[in-house]
Structure formats: structure tokens, C-alpha cells
A = this chain, B = another copy of it.
Amino acid sequence: MKAWAYLSRVAEPPCAELAELLRCVGAVEAAERIRRGEVGPTLAEHTAARREIESATADLELLHRRGGRLVTPEDDEWPVLAFTAFDGAALRARRRGGPPLVLWVIGPARLDEVADRAAAVVGTRAATAYGQRIAADFSAGLAEHEVTVVSGGAYGIDGAAHRAALAADGQTVAVLAGGIDVLYPAGHSALLHRIGGSGLLVSEYPPGVRPARHRFLARNRLLAALSSATVVVEAGLRSGAANTAAWARALGRVVCAVPGPVTSMASAGCHVLLRNGAELVTRADEIVEIIGRAGEFAKEPPHPSSPLDGLSDIERQVYEALPARGARSPDEIAVSSGLPPADVLGPLAMLEIAGLAQRQDGRWRLVRRGRSSRDGPEATQSR
């Protein structure tokens, strides 16, 4: 385990050359060779700055004091399935495109179980009230369906997503861009502690490593990899969430985005994603359907109903031909509806049965049912 901890710090992850050496000789031997400088020139360069740092013991002690564990590919809970997506040659060639070497984690959840049924809910730190509400609604809905909410622990959308999952007694995972002991942002340290207490804090960086821009970008690939779908709730045009979405797409995951007002800059990045093929989602149900097991379908939203719903087209046409005031003969109704006179009597009888029309001295009139039943000829089509 100390060899893994040493390797986790010696090169900035992910490092393809280090992964290759590991595959060939195993962790203990790889660590030894790096210490002795007996590696190829590229890996020598990548490890030059840190190969003399021997903090593995102290790092592991710190981790254990905080109730954490170092998860390696040799462990049962290593999320093998989630990380097979990194196997594509195109991805390995991509900058920072490999799987993590190890993961430093704190929390009771198992990594592999988490990754089996998870959605990333991410977005801008500069979230609007709308975005925070949606993030919270979605997270609560995902929690209800036992989907783990994965996010980045940041202010704004991320925080709203984590909080709502915790409030709904759901499972939530924060993937960090620095060491697991560096709770960033500082204003979220209590929230991150709660996440580590019930779900999982995850990082590929050893203790003490500070978040940095390139680490956020590398972290985003893990957010995407651990989730079956990445849901971008709000994102500006320059957004880390768009980077996470790009990773999700590269890894073969579903990218979802939430629409918002076109006047809101906080939704502009979502609209770009939607124009480029992301799935538009409006409710947690729709995300569950996308990532869910067979047989989980989003409920149809309720349609407003109208007393005219059960009518046939011809019955409607006759109904529309009844005058707003007064009564008409069947012949007059035939003229105004454009139907043959012989065709209006049947529909009139049906309208009478439905309580929509009534006969009086051989003429027909509407039955008044309050505003909703007929406030204009296009009333039932909302324009």
C-alpha cells in the first residue's frame, strides 16, 4: 500500500508512462525503479521533481486517522466497469485521459456500488436561484430512486445538488480536485464532512495537494466516469461543467442539460450543449429513465383535461358551430360547420348526452358550463 501511496504523489496524475510501468512490473517494483531513476526518459522527467518525496507513511496515517482508505485496482471495490471506458486508444492518447492510478476515499459507501447507479449533477458556481432549485429538485428525485448524486463540491449548483441528496437521505459523492484533507472551497468544509460521513469523498490526489486549474479539468473526467449520465443544470459559456460534459461524451456516457431562459447567461452553456446533441431534461424521472434499469420509465406529465376531450372530430366541429348565444336549427348548424345536414344530427345527440348541448323546439343551444368549457373557438388548443 505504501508503494501505491508513493506512486500517487510522484507524478501528476494521470500519467500514461507511469500507468504503463505499473502494468509491466507492479506497484512495489515501479516505486523502486522510480526512486533509483531507472526509468525511461519521459517518465524520468515526469517524476524528477517529486521522486525524493517519501511521505507515503505519513499520508496513509493521515488518511486512516480521518477514517479513509486508499483504493487501488487490486481492491474489490475498484469500479472496474466504470473505468473500462478509459480503455479506448483515443482516450489514452488524450491529454490527462487515463484512468486514475488509485483513489483516496473517505466515507461508508462502496465505490463500485456507487458507480453502478449514479448521475453527475453539475453546473456553474454562479448559479441563479432557478438553477439551485432545479439542482435540488433533481437531486432529491434521484435520491428517491436510489441514484447516487455525484458532483464536485463547489459553490452553486454542486453544493445545491449535494445538500438536497443529503436532505433526502440519499447517497452523494464529491470528487475533489485536491487532497482529501484539503476541503475546498473552505466555505463547504462542513458540507464535505457530511458527505464523507454518509457517502463518499473521492480524490486521486494524495493528502495536502492543492486544487489547481488543471486538477479541476482532470477531476472532471472522474466525475464523468463514475456516472452513467452527466446532467448540466446551469453553465455559462466558459464552464467547467461543459468540460465535464465533454468527458462524459468521450467516455460514452449520456450528456443531459437543463434548459433555462435564453436571457440567462447561466443557462447559455446548457443551450450550447443542447444544440450539440445533449438530452434535454426537465425532471429527475427523465434522468432515471436514461440511466435506469430496464422498465423504469418517466411518468407522463399530467395533461390539462377538458370536457371536449372525448369528442370525435365531427362532434367538435358541430359543437363549434353552435352559437355563443341563442339557438340554431340543424340546417343552420350544417352551413356554419361545413358538414352535410344529414351528418349533424348524430353529433348533436352525442353532445346532448355529454351535457354540452341541449335541444329546444327543434333548435340547438350550448349548455353553459362556466368559462373553462368554451371561452373562444381555440380555447382547447391554448392559443
Binding site for B on A (CB under 8 A): 11-12, 45-46, 48-50, 53, 95, 122-126, 130, 133-134, 152, 154, 156-158, 177, 184-185, 210-217, 235-241, 243, 258-263, 267-268, 271, 274-275, 279-280, 282-283, 301, 303-304, 306, 313, 316-317, 320-321, 331, 334-343, 376-378, 380-383
Q: Which of B130, B134, B279, B382 contacts A238 (CB 8 A)?
A: B382
For A339, the chain B residues whose CB sits under 8 A away are 12, 49
Asked if B377 contacts A216 (CB within 8 A), the reply is yes
A101: min CB distance to chain B, Å: 13
Asked if A381 contacts B275 (CB within 8 A), the reply is no
How many copies of this chain does one complex carry? 2
Output the nearest chain B residue to A376 by Cβ-Cβ distance.
B185
Asked if B378 contacts A177 (CB within 8 A), the reply is yes
Asked if B262 contacts A53 (CB within 8 A), the reply is no
A45 to B259 Cα, complex, angstroms: 50
A152 to B382 Cα, complex, angstroms: 13
Asked if B340 contacts A381 (CB within 8 A), the reply is no
Asked if B377 contacts A240 (CB within 8 A), the reply is no
For A158, the chain B residues whose CB sits under 8 A away are 383
Asked if B49 contacts A377 (CB within 8 A), the reply is no
Output the nearest chain B residue to A314 by Cβ-Cβ distance.
B214
Pick 19 A–B contacts, CB within 8 A, sort by A: A50-B338, A122-B383, A125-B383, A130-B261, A130-B263, A210-B336, A213-B377, A213-B381, A214-B317, A215-B377, A216-B377, A238-B382, A239-B381, A239-B383, A243-B381, A259-B259, A259-B262, A262-B282, A275-B279
Asked if A154 contacts B383 (CB within 8 A), the reply is yes
A378: min CB distance to chain B, Å: 5
* Cβ-closest 7 pairs across A and B: A12-B338, A259-B259, A212-B320, A240-B381, A262-B282, A49-B334, A240-B383
Output the nearest chain B residue to A215 by Cβ-Cβ distance.
B377
For A237, the chain B residues whose CB sits under 8 A away are 301, 303-304
For A336, the chain B residues whose CB sits under 8 A away are 210, 212
Output the nearest chain B residue to A53 by Cβ-Cβ distance.
B335
Output the nearest chain B residue to A239 by Cβ-Cβ distance.
B382
Q: Which of B49, B133, B378 contacts A240 (CB 8 A)?
A: B378
Given A214-B316, A320-B213, check contact A238 B378 (CB 8 Å).
no
A278: min CB distance to chain B, Å: 10
